[in-house]
Structure 1
Amino acid sequence: MERFLLAYAVGHVATNPTAEALIDSMSRMTIKDTPFVHGVIDDFLPDSVYEAVREQWPAPSSLMPVRPGKGGNYVGSREARLIEEWQDGGCSASAVGAFQQVADGLRHPNVLREFSKQFASVIEKHLFVNFPEVDCKPGFRLYQCVDQGVEESLGAHVDSLRKLFTVVIYIDLAGELTLDSERLWGTTLYHARSGDVTPVSFSSNYDHAPAGNVEFKPNRAFVMPNNSIALHGVTGGQSGVRRRTLMCGYWAFGEET
């Protein structure tokens, strides 16, 4: 794991105030072991950055429907936009303003290192069981996401095993909310056994029995070290409700990524 973190740090600059604030917020993280290891951090972004993200959110026309990957069969109504990708010591960035602050903070190697301390056993096992070091090119991606409408937002799935770590920041939930909205538009977690679920293969949330839920709360972060049993999804499905999130991933890129 240390070699991966050192490789990831190449090309980054000294720490910045947003990165330092995110590291401080990790002291408030609650970690749960079931149905798979994950964490929750409330008030994750600095208040000023969070409010600026809400104010500067782009027009809906800038987001595109999420499409299935190779051989995928996407289930859900999510729209998203890639706002930053970093790998091989270089960054292709289109983020500006508050989004650039978030990207610079999340992408910083000190932030990844601190997350890795919290979930060391899960990440180390996943990294070195699945990928030889010679086939790992550390990288980072950050997306803006919008879920809305009566269809499921995001089907139950396991992320690509090339993604070592995911952080989803809940921005806001708006519209005709009910007492069930925070649950439906949060992240539902499911039990799975290793090898039973094909990564990036989506199925209806209603095909699975919920085993946990990270309810929606503004400026809450859902933190997930990835592995083959981290089955999760977003049910949504309420007319007139809109969910906005930022989602970043720390990757072990390879030729097939």
Structure 2
Amino acid sequence: MARRRSGKASIPWVVRLAAALVVLSALILLAAPVGYRLGILPLRTALLTVLRWGAYGAAAAAAVSVLGLGFQLAQPRNARRGVWLSVVSLLLAGVMFSIPAGYRVGPRKPPIHDITTDIENPPPFVAVVPLNTPGRTDYEGEVIAAQQREAYPDLRPAVLDVPPAEAFDRALAAVYQMRWQLVEADEPGGRIEATDTTFWFGFKDDVVIRVRPDGGGSRIDVRSLSRVGGGDAGTNAARIREYVDTLTAE
């Protein structure tokens, strides 16, 4: 009597390879921020080398996932095994590939790290100056202003129809709402300084907020500066937009 085969057919090797590449790529991508935070990897190596190889791995995982999915769809319906794994691998590979892409600089993300709503008279840093390398908080003027105009023409100060004292309180409340670390709040001088820490690499970025009278209301300017790196990949501009939206939504 012939022996009866038991159990389901195994998942094709190409599908398992795609899943393995997804796991490997995830480990490589995690190694970049973890290695940098632990002081094992220099910033340049973490961003330009490790993340790049993570992206290569994610691209390979996506390609193999597509091959595996195509291979399975070509089989009879009752012989398909692991279609769900191919789909999940493809989706995860796409997400992981987008992570390194977010750190690239280009025409829309110029290599600048100091962004402000007032490029003619940017709010000066005071309290966070000792926390930065010498000269880091000095605004470079037209060198970066021209690049900001082209890349982020939408950045504008917030104008509130309230007196400066009330505007200052609202500006400070928005800082807490953003969950930044408050460094100094100088109400007589109309200045607030805070620090934001990025999620992946733990970069420390400093923010200064200036509140001034504007007609019958108040004008609030914001400046966001990265402590490290030559380009911020749009992080500071996005931070300012989010803060202004938070402030004006009240």
State the TM-score, normalizing by the size of structure 2: 0.25
So what's the TM-score if we normalise by structure 1? 0.24
Question: Relative contact order (C-alpha < 8 Å, sep 6+): which is higher?
Answer: 1
Q: Which has the higher helix share?
A: 2
Q: When you count strand as a share of all residues, which structure comes out higher?
A: 1
Q: Mark the structure with the bigger radius of gyration.
A: 2
